[in-house]
Structure 1
């Protein structure tokens, strides 16, 4: 079933549609169902490293067809938020010093921002595999000089084949410790990211569902944004972890294949 009165869908990526670059059961069919029914949807990710075009190609390699205009990253949400903060009435372009990768710098450029190390309006920290002491030092000094501190997402660690890696939230904490300044964080679990996605679709939260695999990001942010929430058990959540939270999703399913209108049958060759 697609969900009563659900006209739009937001879905997390990792743990919902893919796991370690492999499409999860029913993911391709669900995307096709939304396309066939002409239902607006966006695939969300807190990862700010890649552009939407990059992610579209990576998903295609996993067997999932997701056009780049159907992908919404924390980098795009951050750029949208900062453009709104500068405001259309401003005659000058906003400026930013960025610690991050192409996904973030491209989004900010396309939102009209200038990248600079000289008196920027914002210091924006996102995901990167190349954090440098020099860049972090520059960020600390610019924030101390009055630049506003923005972070794309709060994730403290990220995965790798060798184990966890320090991620955006960990570096942001280092900068906070050095400056005494807390950042504004745009990505999940801030419902701001979901509201910007809804604005992108021209959708209303009352008729939109959020599918995620994490209670502490996807479900709580979806709930706070006023959406119908669907927790899938194909990612990091377990029944024990659900019980640890004082709130509940509207629906719990084993995988996205349960959202198909027709019963899902695994390919006999898989």
Structure 2
């Protein structure tokens, strides 16, 4: 077998890799600084659709992490790009926060409750029964069902929270319609990230903390994958999966020397 080509571009998850419960993970600042100094293109990926890249840039800066706005790629941006490719200038009924509504607005979508082309479900801390009921009725009437990501729970300082996947399951039970999930582990999000960087899969690596989203998405997109043990998946759980990352490391600090 030929030697793998050098890694020229990097994709990394955010929660569990760079930050954890509102604090930077040791080594994250060094990793980001080394990337910037190397000049290698990179994107920080997140399945969370609540925030705009500008919001996330500010939140990371408050933690001492310098990530340019243009280097943040969210499931909301991926969803907006996907819908633009499917139905340019379409209409959508949205359950989500400003990260999702802003991305759709900027993509030329009209947000409406009247006969929308799509019902688009994203992350929010204020899911309302009224809004979910409206979404169910619109889907029953023919709207296509899209969700930004399949994550069933999300982190908070108080504990886990129900996330997009859980609410999507509720809507599916009521309508019999399953959504198309755009975010990880859909390799579509990875390919769109590669296109954004003008990068090639053979020379790109993905860093994540979850086998069932980050690693499988990177693998299916043809990337080298690094699993860090500072998030969801533990070392003992790795062998339970039918696929493996390229390398398992303790934390992002162990990746710095590879940049």
TM-score in same-fold range (> 0.5): yes
Matched, 1:208 2:204: yes
Unaligned runs of 5+ in 1: 88-92, 263-270
In structure 2, what is the equivalent of residue 69 of structure 1? 70
Q: Secondary structure at the match of 2:125?
A: coil
Q: Is the 8 A contact 2:80 2:104 kept in 1?
A: yes
In structure 1, what is the equivalent of residue 195 of structure 2? 199
The separation in 1 between residues aligned to 2:82 and 2:247, in whole angstroms, is 30
Q: Secondary structure at the match of 1:261?
A: helix
Tell me how far 1:229 sits from its aligned partner.
0.4
- Once the two structures are superposed, residues 25-53 of structure 1 have per-residue CA deviations (whole angstroms, 9 ceiling, x without a partner) of 11111111111111000000000001100
Q: Is the 8 A contact 2:21 2:157 kept in 1?
A: no
Tell me how far 1:240 sits from its aligned partner.
1.2
**RMSD in angstroms over aligned alpha carbons?**
1.2
**Aligned equivalent of 1:103, options 95, 99, 102:** 99
In structure 1, what is the equivalent of residue 238 of structure 2? 242
**Aligned equivalent of 1:231, options 227, 241, 252:** 227
Identify which range, 96-105 or 165-174, moves more after superposition. 165-174
In structure 1, what is the equivalent of residue 14 of structure 2? 13
In structure 1, what is the equivalent of residue 148 of structure 2? 152
Q: Which runs of 4+ in 1 moved over 6 A?
A: none
Tell me how far 1:167 sits from its aligned partner.
1.0
Tell me how far 1:160 sits from its aligned partner.
2.3
In structure 2, what is the equivalent of residue 265 of structure 1? none
The separation in 2 between residues aligned to 1:42 and 1:22, in whole angstroms, is 19
In structure 2, what is the equivalent of residue 83 of structure 1? 84
Q: Is the 8 A contact 2:21 2:155 kept in 1?
A: no
Q: Secondary structure at the match of 1:226?
A: coil
In structure 2, what is the equivalent of residue 253 of structure 1? 249
TM-score w.r.t. length of structure 2: 0.96
The separation in 2 between residues aligned to 1:96 and 1:125, in whole angstroms, is 10
In structure 2, what is the equivalent of residue 29 of structure 1? 30
Tell me how far 1:159 sits from its aligned partner.
2.0
Matched, 1:143 2:147: no
The separation in 1 between residues aligned to 2:155 and 2:230, in whole angstroms, is 17
- Once the two structures are superposed, residues 216-250 of structure 1 have per-residue CA deviations (whole angstroms, 9 ceiling, x without a partner) of 00000100000000111111221211011011110
